[in-house]
């Protein structure tokens, strides 16, 4: 049976092949369609994940968990409204760690724990800014709409170059020092080449959708199903979707309402990404809690 990563590579290049058949507007429509389905779905079962963690069973009721979750989302939206530059920075930092963490850079050797946390974080920064690097003009425009002032594009280049240097330096050190993780490092560096090809040859939304769905959301859904039900099967996937449906639908209604109110205004992109950021904040905390619980069970 093929590993999922092999399927992901084939699926990614198939999407790049489709890229040549669709104009940019259709690519954006299809890209957002995937983000609205699998992308939002992978975060729609956060409440179920929380109730499956060991220390939440007897301390908080479901209603309290739901209330806290909604408060975190609303706080994120409020932060984007009041201090957008701070909110955007937090979103980028949190998303970077989340993306790098999802790649599975879990190493068990004697180095500083802070170094082991920083490594997946800097990997996520590289992935994000690799996408930004190839679409700097579009990203600059979206950032301007969010923070309400111009951000020179060379900041994107400098952050990408610096983060790439740090990641390659750390990878080289780990590769030289620890033989057990050399294969993993070689694989991840190969994936970065794949991501670079995807981001370079596709539009911003299409490239992001390919990575976000194929390389992040679906692997996350698989991990969540295994955590909740103990293993993966199609019937478990259906149960996962049923449990997530109400929250997934609520998110779609929220996005639909934003589009209805601001579809003719330039700030819609800013509001849309702000909404995604707001629902990302609690999701990342839940996934970290899940991974900690998963590691504890293994231990």
pLDDT at 54: 55
Contact 227, 290 (CB under 8 A): yes
pLDDT at 137: 86
Query: What pLDDT, in 10s, does the model give residues 73-94?
Result: 777 777 777 888 888 888 888 8
Per-residue pLDDT averaged across 252-265, rounded? 71
Residue 268 has pLDDT above 50, yes or no: yes
Residue 263 has pLDDT above 90, yes or no: no
Instruction: Place 115 in a pLDDT band, splitting at 50, 70 and 90.
Output: confident
159 compared with 50, residue with greater pLDDT: 159
Per-residue pLDDT averaged across 141-162, rounded? 81
- The proportion of the chain whose per-residue pLDDT surpasses 70, expressed as a percent, equals 81
pLDDT at 126: 95
For the chain, the three-class secondary structure string (H helix, E strand, C coil) is CCCHHHHHHHHHHHHHHHHCCCCHHHHHHHHHHHHHHHHHHCCCCHHHHHHCCHHHCCCCCHHHHHHHHHHHHHHHHHHHHHCHHHHHHHHHHHHHHHHHHHCCCCCCCCCCHHHHHHHHHHHHHHHHHHHHHHCHHHHHHHHHHHHCCCCCCHHHHHHHHHHHHHHHHHHHHHHHHCHHHHHHHHHHHHHHHHHHHHHHHCCHHHHHHHHHHHHHHHHHHHHHHHHHHCCCCHHHHHHHHHHHHHHHHHHHHHHHHHHHHHCCCCCHHHHHHHHHHHHHHHHHHHHHHHHHHHHHHHC
181 compared with 2, residue with greater pLDDT: 181
Residue 234 has pLDDT above 80, yes or no: yes
Predicted TM-score (pTM) of this structure: 0.84
Contact 16, 201 (CB under 8 A): yes
Contacts of 256-264 spanning 24+ positions with Cβ under 8 A? none
Instruction: Place 1 in a pLDDT band, splitting at 50, 70 and 90.
Output: very low
Instruction: Give the mean pLDDT of the chain.
Output: 81
Note down the domain range covering 143: 4-298
197 compared with 42, residue with greater pLDDT: 197
pLDDT at 120: 87
Instruction: Place 294 in a pLDDT band, splitting at 50, 70 and 90.
Output: low
Which range, 121-135, 140-154, 238-252, is most confident? 121-135
162 compared with 150, residue with greater pLDDT: 162
Cβ-proximal residues to 252 (8 Å cutoff; 6+ apart), any chain: 36, 40
42 compared with 262, residue with greater pLDDT: 42
User: In the block, which residue shows the tokens 């049976």?
Assistant: 1
pLDDT at 169: 94
pLDDT at 10: 93
Domain count, the chain: 1
């Amino acid at each position: 049976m093929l590993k999922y990563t092999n399927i992901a590579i084939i699926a990614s290049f198939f999407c790049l092949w489709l890229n040549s058949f669709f104009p940019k507007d259709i690519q954006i429509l299809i890209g957002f369609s995937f983000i609205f389905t699998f992308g939002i779905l992978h975060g729609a079962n956060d409440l179920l994940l929380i109730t499956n963690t060991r220390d939440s069973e007897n301390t908080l009721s479901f209603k309290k968990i739901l209330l806290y979750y909604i408060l975190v989302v609303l706080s994120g939206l409020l932060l984007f409204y009041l201090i957008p530059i701070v909110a955007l920075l937090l979103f980028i930092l949190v998303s970077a760690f989340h993306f790098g963490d999802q790649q599975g850079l879990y190493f068990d050797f004697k180095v500083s724990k802070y170094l082991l946390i920083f490594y997946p974080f800097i990997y996520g920064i590289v992935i994000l800014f690799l996408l930004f690097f190839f679409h700097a003009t579009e990203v600059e425009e979206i950032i301007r709409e969010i923070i309400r002032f111009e951000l020179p594009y060379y900041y994107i280049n400098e952050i990408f170059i610096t983060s790439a240097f740090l990641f390659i330096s750390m990878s080289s050190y780990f590769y030289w020092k620890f033989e057990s993780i050399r294969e993993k490092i070689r694989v991840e560096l190969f994936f970065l080449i794949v991501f670079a090809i995807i981001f370079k040859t596709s539009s911003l939304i299409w490239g992001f959708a390919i990575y976000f769905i194929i390389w992040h959301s679906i692997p996350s859904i698989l991990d969540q199903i295994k955590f909740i039900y103990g293993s993966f099967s199609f019937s478990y996937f259906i149960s996962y979707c049923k449990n997530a449906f109400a929250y997934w639908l609520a998110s779609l209604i929220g996005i639909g309402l934003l589009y209805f109110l601001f579809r003719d205004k330039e700030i819609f992109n800013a509001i849309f990404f702000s909404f995604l950021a707001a629902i990302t904040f609690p999701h990342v905390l839940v996934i970290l809690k899940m991974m900690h619980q998963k590691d504890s069970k293994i231990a």
